[in-house]
Structure 1
């Protein structure tokens, strides 16, 4: 289920993240209050100049509110001039202070909200089932977590620092001009419909342009990450030219999308300012005529012109904001697609957690497959499999490549859900188990153990982060990790690179076995754990595996004689079906 925006508004996408703003309501309300204070100071800024023009230069005392405020002052021109200069200085200081604190408060709220969004997107990505990850490249998902959340941050920060203050400022200036003189105020507002129509037109164009640009950037990021991840293969095969050609094609598509966005941005601001200039021209014409006929003073006209000039600042900012918001809305769509993906069935069933977690005894390790069928998209790889594996059994799955052995292991590991049928642990379907319960029951040693950047000890603790140092040392000794860790300068605390760079395949496999030992699960799954290892490394890994298998239910895929001899039963898999099980030679439906 993908998230769909209700309504055409750009802010509809950002409104999707409103729940993240609730903890920061006080900060946001305080920021709005500071913006109102800044507006009040800005509205007062032109009046000292009006006092100088009318009271000092034209010898006409101010009237209205300004006249009441200046009445206690001496009537001499020099005194009015000094007071006006001091007032201008004080007003500017207040305006700058409100602006500084308003920006700081509002923008910090935007930063905090985005940080929480990024945290949740990353957490959700880890919870999503493997089919979702199979459909998206690593680079494209990385682009969503990093780049798209940055674009959302830009949008949120601009909402708080530009949109909200801009709306407050425009409203305040419009009301102030109408209060100063309703006739001049109406003339000044004549440009509003033109400005609105221009902004609406280009908002639609820039939104579609931003979607296309983000889509092109995501595909480019996916290709880049894929090639960088497989750089060893690129060098080994000499395929740099092939990948350069693919990159050039996607880079050109990204360039065209970017140029379209640049063209729209370049056209938007001048047109908007031209529309706003209509109001300035109207004020100069009508206001100048009114001053000549004595309808209002020069100082009053200067105040209204200053208000109109100051209104153009938020208008220009809002024109640029529409570009930012369209980009942020396109990114918000991509991030929302992740946040609104359906999670694992177990994660969506709190009643199953409350029923099973507190009182469930430790699993015995009995595994049952009942009519299991599974496929990747339209390609079925497992067909109507029925299989019973008793506690403590060691079952090896045998068969040609592509027969479905690894897919069966993936189902037993809970990485995928069957399209039909059930995979059960001690009679309970995997769909009714929480992730935590399943991980306490089943551990996996893959064909190529992946190590994360960090220390060797941190990688060993991956399955049990709270394990004590003595437990880590125990499993390191049992899995023969200590044999090569002693050769490292810092032992188990030695830093290793991403993917285990610097360690051999056999050493990485021993780390994977140590992880399974530390998890201490009743079920262990082994997917070709000794494939590609030299005889010495294989011997060490098999020795570690023998220690891991003691007292556990084991299901493995292997062609290696050293591991085949450890099995108590063999199951032959062909074309996705289990066609033979020994030693009982139990025949299942072909």
Structure 2
């Protein structure tokens, strides 16, 4: 299936490689312990298309910071320019900003109060406007960045070799693609709505405090190192719980997915209580980790408030003493005290962000674990034909899954000429389906070569390979959608007429004509509502529509009754015409379609012979291939 990307999104595995986060530094050591944001920063290349929006968002947050810094000044000016002057007569004994502005409206005390009150409204409205615009720019960018990450993780996951998927739990992998990207999205949203505004507010407030009166400013800022150390301590505590909780949630998701995928088996054996117990165990693990994280997070805010209160108390005492002795105006003390309260809010926001960032970093690492996996079919630079002749060569091919159970087969040599039809038969567990998967490029051989018209199968581009090789699997999987959608799955650009022709040739139309909507009938995931034989015929129609010169059939009639097998074999008869065919089978009806039969025996030999024409010296046409082991 072709994966479509937007214009600003990586459009190929190579493009995805270009934006894959680097897990390690030049020294090869993990960078995780350098910062909780390090994992998120590794995805910085996804933010390049959003630079304009991010810059505008920062500017809007800067405007909000300026408005917030201006908020306490109307009250301070009323105290300094109006209330303190009141004792001098009419309240106009001093010159000041409030006096100057009020002078435009007559200069009375009432005018001064109206100007101050109006300034409060204007400043608040400006802060709200800048906050709205900042959130729109920053959060919009975060959403688009996350969308790109999610799309690339999904696309890259689909391109990973089957050896990777065989080692993974489907639910756990689903959790990484969906849940972990959602966690990253939440973290990026917090960056836009809390981190950037909070950092700007703290920096701006500190600068203005020092500028207003450096003595009071420095006294107030003495608490900053204590706040930093406290936040850093709690961040370290939450990091381990965040990572463990994400992993536990992934296992829980895997259990749920597995249970739902096997729901028929659960009902067949009445094993609901068994699944309940398994779920309860995993769920209790998630709950325990969550409660630990909640306990640590709950301590965050009150501890920071207590640390910040030390600074406020110190400023209040020293500032009040200075005001009594005429070192500075009362309004200055009001402003500094207000700024300290203003600083407390972003400090609390930053403190509450620590769990979010650690969870986001843990999720980012889990996502990066996928993007760090190597892929097959990177593509060779050699020129490739539009359509191969169909010659297949296996040269000393060995496959070992690396599970410690030994190789599935070793040193396999086999040559299939264009147009030959091979029936691969033999003992159960000898590796017939696995050998077919290696030929189809689903697995890279541990050693040896698999060649298609002289081109190395594991090294050619995947999209080209699947134009040359079509597969009909033992159990054809149908996706939710119409029959037309499923037949067109291997060739999305096929016309309706081509789909109808393939459906007719594969005898899909034979049963689709009896359905309410014909080929436009919607089927559920896995082909719910269709029999095994009907699903197999849809799989054959897919292969016919691809029109590949090589077709691989993996037990295409397994599990079918006699009538269904007759229909499938009839469809296969049309599929094999003029193509190179390799079919694993135990059924004589499929073997009869072959021009040569290959016998694969566990731990024995692989023999080939012409079933109808026996040469004088049969040993001359017999190839012996050693195979050992099994699954």
Assess same fold via TM > 0.5: yes
Note the C-alpha offset of 1:260.
1.2
Kept in 2, the 8 Å contact 1:381–1:576? The answer is no
Kept in 1, the 8 Å contact 2:61–2:130? The answer is yes
Q: Match of 1:526, SS?
A: strand
Task: Report the CA distance shift for 1:589/1:452 in structure 2 as closer, same or farther (over 3 A).
Answer: closer
Note the C-alpha offset of 1:70.
6.0
Report the RMSD for the aligned CA atoms in angstroms: 1.7
Kept in 2, the 8 Å contact 1:385–1:577? The answer is no
Aligned equivalents of 1:534, 1:405: Cα separation in 2 = 22
Among 266, 269, 272, the alignment partner of 1:234 is 266
The corresponding residue for 1:364 is 389
User: Within 5 A, what are the aligned runs for 1:394-405?
Assistant: 394-405=421-432
Note the C-alpha offset of 1:580.
1.2
User: Within 5 A, what are the aligned runs for 1:77-92?
Assistant: 77-92=109-124
Flag the structure with higher helix content.
1
Q: Deviations over 1:385-412 (max 9, x none)?
A: 1111111111111111111111101101
Q: Deviations over 1:467-507 (max 9, x none)?
A: 01110010000000001111121111111111100111111
Among 177, 182, 205, the alignment partner of 2:209 is 177
The corresponding residue for 2:409 is 382
Q: Deviations over 1:509-535 (max 9, x none)?
A: 000000000011111111111111111
Kept in 2, the 8 Å contact 1:383–1:576? The answer is no
The corresponding residue for 1:260 is 292
Among 572, 576, 593, the alignment partner of 1:566 is 593
The corresponding residue for 1:157 is 189
Among 432, 435, 449, the alignment partner of 1:408 is 435
Aligned equivalents of 2:459, 2:255: Cα separation in 1 = 38
Task: Report the CA distance shift for 1:386/1:65 in structure 2 as closer, same or farther (over 3 A).
Answer: farther
Note the C-alpha offset of 1:72.
5.5
Aligned equivalents of 1:78, 1:160: Cα separation in 2 = 41
Q: Match of 1:579, SS?
A: strand
The corresponding residue for 1:474 is 501
Q: Match of 1:498, SS?
A: coil
Task: Report the CA distance shift for 1:194/1:67 in structure 2 as closer, same or farther (over 3 A).
Answer: farther
Q: Deviations over 1:438-458 (max 9, x none)?
A: 111111111110000111101
Gaps (5+ residues) in structure 1?
none
Q: Match of 1:232, SS?
A: helix
2:563 is the counterpart of 1:536: yes
Aligned equivalents of 1:436, 1:148: Cα separation in 2 = 29
Task: Report the CA distance shift for 1:432/1:62 in structure 2 as closer, same or farther (over 3 A).
Answer: farther
Aligned equivalents of 1:240, 1:432: Cα separation in 2 = 46
Q: Match of 1:247, SS?
A: helix
Among 168, 172, 175, the alignment partner of 1:136 is 168
Aligned equivalents of 1:98, 1:79: Cα separation in 2 = 28
The corresponding residue for 2:49 is 23
Aligned equivalents of 1:338, 1:576: Cα separation in 2 = 36
The corresponding residue for 2:340 is 308
Aligned equivalents of 1:403, 1:22: Cα separation in 2 = 52
Note the C-alpha offset of 1:74.
4.3
Kept in 1, the 8 Å contact 2:171–2:256? The answer is yes
Aligned equivalents of 1:526, 1:63: Cα separation in 2 = 95
Task: Report the CA distance shift for 1:558/1:541 in structure 2 as closer, same or farther (over 3 A).
Answer: same
Kept in 2, the 8 Å contact 1:54–1:62? The answer is no
Aligned equivalents of 2:431, 2:515: Cα separation in 1 = 40
Aligned equivalents of 2:451, 2:179: Cα separation in 1 = 41
The corresponding residue for 1:49 is 75
Gaps (5+ residues) in structure 2?
1-20, 25-29, 87-92, 611-617, 627-631
The corresponding residue for 1:214 is 246
Note the C-alpha offset of 1:256.
1.3
Aligned equivalents of 1:485, 1:546: Cα separation in 2 = 20
Higher mean C-alpha displacement, 492-501 vs 69-78: 69-78
Aligned equivalents of 2:437, 2:603: Cα separation in 1 = 13
Aligned equivalents of 1:502, 1:265: Cα separation in 2 = 50
- Relative to the length of structure 1, the TM-score reads 0.96
The corresponding residue for 2:521 is 494
- Relative to the length of structure 2, the TM-score reads 0.90
